[in-house]
Structure 1
């Protein structure tokens, strides 16, 4: 599924050739993987881990010698120990959804993280796919302040594309990669209850989230299945609404008491200087985010993403990261290395 490359678990700016010389000190034993008997004593989970490791680490055996590949895996151990058994909510969209290579990278990352014991919840949108189908039906997409204006006919297409097409395609890819995915929307099991947006007169059936009931998710994530959730919800009368996927992911992360919320985006993260991609802010707290916003350094489309992260942190999520979905294996870089692949926001 992936291109024949071996994954270096390093930062996107670290040269691969220098990685084996890392001075990081790691434990000499491997208690974490053995300790989680529910994962590796289960034949399916063992097979799942084997499949995902093969797809990520060993497709091209000529690229790196065996000792280097083993060292890379061993250096991931402390991070696996740290996040094993924790819930991680990932919002998927943007370039990572449009590129087949990046899509394969994201799927492989999800499967690997699930197979080493992380409870993954995968939330997706699908704007480009919706636009494509609206075009086929002769409906011109219309946006207001970055939000899709959603009349009744557009809402019907949104539901068909997100729930019926994109969601099931992602489920199929995850299952094929060796994990077990279950496709849902916010409507299923009263997972998300919607309410009209304050600008509903202009936006139509674009909704906010009134409440979250994660009951339907808990048995899935406790058994290391991967819920794949389309960002469509309904109000108490059954009217469907188009929900911003970042917002859906943030509210789900809060309701599940997630360790991490990860938003895949088409930028490097929060930049000190919006015109300088090299000015990435690696880590920042809520106070720092507020100051950068007041100073105009966080603006435009980054504001709702940052607000989503801040809201989830205020409700108990440990960390929220805005990461560069244009990088292959950005999820692994963010979770299994110190360098990360974007900006991590803390409370």
Structure 2
């Protein structure tokens, strides 16, 4: 077999494997949280944009929610605005919130929209302030140690949590063949802006839309056991057990809890996906093996 025929045969094999998945997900909504290495490497950025355009072309409705922490940090540094973190979370005062809105709602959002459109898509950039897309309230965090008689209230400033999602807007866009690209900025009852973790926004958007899948792109291969092997096909009960026995800990906990809440809130499956892998989104959706960890309420059929 010549190299050309072998290449053609491989393409046909890939398409044959993908066809049942395409049929299964036509007309379904998939929410993808885009961040990490996938947002910073030019080849991965191009691959991601093409993946999103292809999904829309075959009749799937992708909704993209993006982060931008490193870009916010870079601009704050250039403006000589000092960043403060508590337990890994950025304290967002009024000055920092202005930068967050500038970076997420402007620069990063429009770059992603432009990239998708350059590859044949029809993306529209949004923040939570557009048509009240992401309603939010100030996040209240309490911390208590054995030495404290009462809990300590930690003030993160303009850091918020989601209270509601305008699904009418998103449904109108997806049914109109547009691809929503959402910056995780929420709006409070009095018009105040809130900086919200992009994973949690993606999870709440997926819940509100009753999405088929929530996909969280990250910089690791997936959820791993204590031997370093990637775990997949997990039920929510199994994930709870992995949290209890200490397999899941530290920085992975918030992402896993986000995935759990989404599945428990009506999303069919949640995926922790290795965003460092080229075409990771398509590989996770359209192949038998995937490139990450799948979580559902029940064991997938054999």
TM over 0.5, yes or no? yes
Show the 5 A alignment for 1:134-213.
134-199=76-141, 201-213=154-166
Residues 1:259 and 2:201 aligned together: no
Change (3 A) 1:293 1:68: same
Match of 2:42 in 1: 100
Structure 2 equivalent of residue 298 of structure 1 = 248
Whole-angstrom distance in 1 between the partners of 2:87 and 2:278: 30
- Indicate the SS of the match to 2:285: helix
* Residues 30 and 63, structure 2, Cα contact 8 Å, conserved in 1: yes
Give yes or no for the alignment of 1:76 onto 2:18: yes
Preserved CA contact (<8 Å) 2:22 2:58:
yes
TM-score (structure 2 length as normaliser): 0.91
Gap regions ≥5 residues in structure 2: 142-152, 298-302
* Separation of aligned partners in 1, 2:296 and 2:172: 28
Residue 250 (str. 1) matches residue 203 (str. 2): yes
CA distance in 2, matches of 1:205, 1:267: 29
Q: Which deviates more, 140-149 or 263-272?
A: 140-149
* Residues 67-113 of structure 1 deviation map (CA, whole Å, 9 limit, x = unaligned): 32222212210010011110000000111111111111111111111
Report the equivalent of 1:289: 239
What is the count of residue pairs matched by the alignment?
284
How far did residue 212 of structure 1 move?
1.5
Greater CA drift, 104-113 or 174-183: 104-113
Per-residue deviation at 1:62? 5.8
Partner of 1:339: 289
Cα contact 2:36–2:219 (8 A) shared by 1: yes
Q: Which runs of 5+ in 1 are unaligned?
A: 1-60
Q: Which runs of 4+ in 1 moved over 6 A?
A: none
Find the residue that maps to 1:203 and give its secondary structure. coil
Question: Which residue pairs with 1:268 in the alignment?
Answer: 221
The TM-score with structure 1 as length reference comes to 0.79
Q: CA deviation at 1:201?
A: 4.4
C-alpha contact (below 8 Å) 1:98/1:128 kept by paired residues: no
C-alpha change, 1:162 and 1:63, in structure 2 (3 Å) is farther
Question: What is the alpha-carbon root mean square deviation over aligned residues?
Answer: 1.4
Which of 215, 219, 229 is the equivalent residue of 2:182? 229
1:121 is aligned to 2:63:
yes
Work out the CA distance in 1 between the residues paired with 2:53 and 2:43. 16
